[in-house]
Amino acid sequence: MPIQFAIPAHLATLAGAILIAGCGSSQATSSAAEAPAAATGATAAQPTVVELFQSQGCSSCPPANAAVNAITDRPDVLALSFGVTYWDQLGWKDTFASPRYTARQWDYAHHAGRAQVATPQVIVNGGTAIVGSNRQQLAQTIASAGSPKGGPALEAAGDAVKVGALTNAKPSTVWLVRYDPKSREVPIRAGENGGKTLPHRDIVRQLVKLGDWRGAAVRYPLPAPSESGLRTAVLVQQGTGGAITAARRL
C-alpha cells in the first residue's frame, strides 16, 4: 500500500501545528542478521533502550514486531513495544494502544524537529530513529549506541528506586515503565491486517512519570502494577523527548 497520512484526533487541537502520521508498506529483508549480542558496549545493568512504536492496524508493522521480538531476550537490550492510536481509524483498534504512547512518539518527533510520526518506528536510547522493520539497520544502530550514557546510577530499593547524585546534570524526567514479557498472540479480525495473528512481546502496559530530576540524589516510591505478571524498568531521560541517559530493569 502507498504511504497513508492521518491527523491523530487527540492531537489535532494543538495550536499552529500540522500533525501528520504515516504508515509505510516496506517489508523486512528476510536475510538480514539478528542484532548481535556481542560488542555493543551495553550491559544488563545499563541496557540499550529500544522503543518500538507500532499499531496492529498498520500493514507495515508485523515485520517490525518480528524484528524487535527477536531481541527481547537479550540481557543487554531493553526492548519496549508501544501501541499507538492513530491507525485505529483503519478498521481495527489496537488492543494495547494508549494516547499516552502516541504522545511519547510525538515528543520524540518534536524534540528532533520532525513534522510527522510514522509506523513502524524504532527509537534507540531516546535518540536515533529508524524504520523498525529493517533488521540490519536495527542491529547496527544497537551496536553503535551501546548503553545509555551520562546519567545517574539507578538502584532498586524495595518498593522504590534510588536515583544517584550527579554534578552538572541536565534537567531530566524519571520514568517508570511496566511491560509484559510474555508472548501475546493477537488475532486481528478487521482492517489492513485482518485475518492475521500477530505475536507481541514486551508490550508496555504502564508508563508513569515518577518525577523531575536535576542532579540531587532522590528516592522515588513505585506505584503498584496495573496488572500481575509485569516487569519493571526505570528510565532517566533529558527533557521531553530527549536522550535516555540511564536505564535499569528492577
Length of the chain: 250
Asked if the model's pLDDT at residue 14 lies above 60, the reply is no
Q: What CA–CA distance (Å, rounded) separates 203 from 182?
A: 8
Pairing state between β 160-163 and 218-221: antiparallel
Q: What CA–CA distance (Å, rounded) separates 111 from 122?
A: 15
Give the cell for residue 194: 485482518
**Tell me, what's the pLDDT at 157?**
92
Give the cell for residue 142: 544497537
**Tell me, what's the pLDDT at 41?**
78
Count the Cβ atoms, other than its own, within 10 Å of residue 102. 24
Q: What CA–CA distance (Å, rounded) separates 43 from 69?
A: 19
Handedness of CA 47, 152, 130, 60 (dihedral sign): positive
Asked if the model's pLDDT at residue 11 lies above 90, the reply is no
92-150 tens-digit pLDDT: 999 999 999 999 999 999 999 999 999 999 999 999 999 989 999 999 999 999 999 99
**Tell me, what's the pLDDT at 205?**
98
Q: CB of 238 within 8 A of CB of 245?
A: yes
Would you say the pTM of this structure is higher than 0.95? no
Asked if the model's pLDDT at residue 221 lies above 90, the reply is yes
Pairing state between β 48-54 and 77-83: parallel
* Helix/strand/coil percent split, the chain, to 5: 15, 35, 50
236-248 tens-digit pLDDT: 999 999 999 999 9
Beta bridge partners of 121: 53, 131
**Tell me, what's the pLDDT at 159?**
94
**pLDDT: which is higher, 228 or 31:** 228
| CA distance readout (Å), 57 to 22, 42, 121, 208 | 12, 33, 14, 25
Count the Cβ atoms, other than its own, within 10 Å of residue 25. 13
Q: What CA–CA distance (Å, rounded) separates 244 from 237?
A: 4
* 33 confidence band (pLDDT: 50, 70, 90): very low
**Tell me, what's the pLDDT at 7?**
40
